């Protein structure tokens, strides 16, 4: 009886090189994705911390955030603004006014809005409060500059107190 030799088959050198290349390529992609996820995570945490500190003040329009040693209030930085809103809109509408002679009856009165050029203009006064001081309180200038270099470091939840001043009918 004749003994047959089994031929062992393995991977060729080319196949080995191709599989190493594919594994290296997949590893490189994983590293790139990982660094992106890490940067996104850091930016998200930085934003979360800023929102956690600043949002109660911005949402509730609170401009006092503590007291100084002399007992006076610490107030957020503010800036006065003049806002003018001008839209091109004019027309006529009818308003029901109560008839003084007939209770329960209404007179239709024609009303117009917009100026002669067809514009409605509203002037408002606003105060813009900057909440950055809530986060940077007690930091040195170098620490503030370092924080602002980070992702979302310059994002602040400023808020406005707006009061209509005049309206042109």
Tally the residues of the chain.
169
What Å distances lie between residue 113 and 94, 116, 121, 153, CA to CA? 11, 9, 10, 45
pLDDT the model gives residue 167 = 53
DSSP H or E segment with residue 142 = helix 141-149
Per-residue model confidence as pLDDT tens for the chain (169 residues): 567 667 767 788 899 999 999 999 999 999 999 999 998 898 888 888 888 888 888 888 888 888 888 989 988 888 998 888 888 776 666 677 777 787 777 777 777 777 777 778 888 888 898 888 888 888 899 988 888 888 888 888 888 888 776 555 5
How many Cα atoms within 13 Å fall on the side-chain side of residue 45? Answer: 8
User: Where in the chain are the domains?
Assistant: 42-162
Q: How far apart are CA 42 and CA 156, in angstroms?
A: 17
pTM for the whole structure = 0.54
């Amino acid at each position: 009886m004749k003994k047959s030799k089994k031929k062992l088959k393995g991977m060729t050198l080319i196949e080995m090189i191709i599989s190493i290349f594919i594994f290296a390529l997949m590893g490189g992609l994983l590293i790139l994705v990982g660094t992106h996820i890490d940067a996104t995570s850091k930016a998200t945490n930085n934003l979360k911390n800023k929102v956690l500190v600043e949002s109660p003040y911005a949402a509730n329009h609170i401009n006092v955030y503590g007291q100084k040693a002399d007992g006076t209030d610490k107030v957020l930085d503010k800036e006065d603004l003049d806002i003018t809103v001008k839209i091109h809109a004019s027309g006529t509408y009818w308003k029901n006014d109560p008839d003084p002679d007939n209770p329960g009856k209404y007179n239709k009165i024609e009303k117009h809005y917009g100026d002669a050029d067809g514009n409605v203009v509203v002037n408002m006064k606003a105060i813009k409060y900057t909440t950055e001081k809530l986060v940077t309180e007690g930091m040195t200038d170098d620490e503030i500059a370092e924080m602002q270099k980070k992702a979302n470091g310059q994002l602040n939840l400023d808020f406005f107190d707006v009061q209509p001043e005049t309206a042109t009918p």
